[in-house]
Amino acid sequence: MTDSSHRFGFITIAGPPNAGKSTLLNRLIGQKVSIISRRPQTTRHRILGIRTAENSQLVFVDTPGIHDDGKKNLNRMINRTAINSLSDVDLVVFMIDYKGWNNPLEKVLRKVSERNVPILLAINKIDSLKDKSRLLPLIQRSSELHQFVDIVPISALKMAEVDEFIDVLLKYIPEGPPGFPAEQISDRSDRFLVSELVREQTFLLLGNELPYESAVEVTQFNRSDPEFWTLDMIIWVEKASQKSIVIGKGGQQLKLIGQRARIAIEKQFGVRVRLNLWVKERKGWADNTNMLRSLGYVED
Ligand SMILES: Nc1nc2c(ncn2[C@@H]2O[C@H](COP(=O)(O)OP(=O)(O)OP(=O)(O)O)[C@@H](O)[C@H]2O)c(=O)[nH]1
Ligand SMILES: [Mg+2]
């Protein structure tokens, strides 16, 4: 590669739920493009994060964690989204955490490796691994499972040297001109991101209490005053009991979700926001293809 050459390519970040894929994406892009929570199955869509440097442009594809439980339509769609993101990319970063392999995880790896794309293994959360000598056997075991192009222990959360990691990735990226404008950092709209920032707060505040079958719909996205946005959103759930969990005693929970989400949106976009939230139930929405489509879970 000559000094003047430019690289351009796509890198999918895939792996099981909760490995830290979205955390890595945000770290590599330098701002939040994908929401994060300690709860598995936070990401539900394919989300692009674009990193433009002087001699390269890398397009990262964040994907939902791939898992085995495909009963509901929603779950199946989400798994399909992840698997479809493995084609036509230059590299897959397969992310696991330091706890290592188990049967379902090996099954996920086999599914991913069917696509014949080079796979780099990132072993994440090593900041939480007290006994670092456990890494060596894990690397050994991993190399027996698949011929990874590289195996890199990382901490997506505490990574100081992003450039070093990028240099490792660039080895697998072909030369080519940039495919996106330099200022573009994501393929997702502001409207999508505000709904995600509300969903993130429901995950963070309700944790495991939150029914998995909840989604956020933006019904008003008014930016006629560019410095003071008015946003209306509906949090959809499937049952009355779930509705009362989200609303909480005397509406306290919903109020807190609204306050925190408003602050997150204001910080993200540097504007002031009026945010109105409602909780509504519709039985079976997570199985209803039309509803899934209108909420953006069906890829055309
Ligand atoms: N200690 C530690 N925690 C991390 C690290 N990276 C991510 N986490 C935490 O792991 C949890 C899951 O992170 P996410 O980035 O949402 O994981 P994900 O793989 O995108 O999860 P899904 O979207 O559900 O598939 C969050 O609580 C993160 O803060 C890391 O390097 N170290
Ligand atoms: Mg995620």
Instruction: Check residue 265 and give its pLDDT.
Output: 98
pLDDT tens, residue by residue, 134-156: 999 999 999 999 999 999 999 99
> What single letter denotes the amino acid at residue 276?
N
Alpha-carbon gap, residue 18 to 66, rounded angstroms: 10
> Closest Cα to residue 186, out of 22, 36, 7, 18?
22
The Å distance, Cα 34 to ligand 2 centre, comes to: 7
Is residue 36 within 6 Å of ligand 1 at its C-beta?
A: yes
pLDDT tens, residue by residue, 267-276: 999 999 999 9
Same structural domain, 268 and 165 = no
The Å distance, Cα 29 to ligand 1 centre, comes to: 16
Same structural domain, 214 and 157 = no
Relative to beta strand 228-237, strand 215-222 is antiparallel
Is 113 strand, coil or helix? helix
pLDDT tens, residue by residue, 221-256: 999 999 999 999 999 998 888 999 999 999 999 999
pLDDT tens, residue by residue, 168-202: 999 999 999 999 999 999 999 999 999 999 999 99
Is residue 21 within 6 Å of ligand 1 at its C-beta?
A: yes
* pLDDT of 259 above 60: yes
Same structural domain, 55 and 195 = no
Radius of gyration of the chain (CA): 20
Ligand 1 atom, smallest distance to 39 CA: 24
Is 34 strand, coil or helix? coil
Instruction: Check residue 270 and give its pLDDT.
Output: 97
* pLDDT of 211 above 80: no
The Å distance, Cα 4 to ligand 2 centre, comes to: 35
Same structural domain, 198 and 155 = no
Same structural domain, 224 and 151 = no
Same structural domain, 122 and 13 = yes
Q: Domain limits at 62?
A: 7-170
Is residue 18 within 6 Å of ligand 1 at its C-beta?
A: yes
The Å distance, Cα 290 to ligand 1 centre, comes to: 31
Ligand 1 atom, smallest distance to 35 CA: 16
CATH number of the domain to which 270 belongs: 3.30.300.20
Alpha-carbon gap, residue 55 to 173, rounded angstroms: 12
Is residue 40 within 6 Å of ligand 1 at its C-beta?
A: yes
Alpha-carbon gap, residue 102 to 104, rounded angstroms: 6
Q: Give the residue, by CA position, lying nearest to ligand 1 atom 3.
A: 125
In a domain, 183, yes or no: no
The Å distance, Cα 23 to ligand 1 centre, comes to: 6
CATH number of the domain to which 91 belongs: 3.40.50.300
Same structural domain, 143 and 200 = no
Q: Give the residue, by CA position, lying nearest to ligand 1 atom 30.
A: 125
Same structural domain, 45 and 127 = yes
pTM of the model: 0.93
Q: What's the number of domains the chain is made of?
A: 2
Helix (H) or strand (E) holding 297: none
Check: CB of residue 269 under 8 Å from CB of residue 258.
Answer: no
* pLDDT of 209 above 90: no
Same structural domain, 276 and 165 = no
In a domain, 105, yes or no: yes
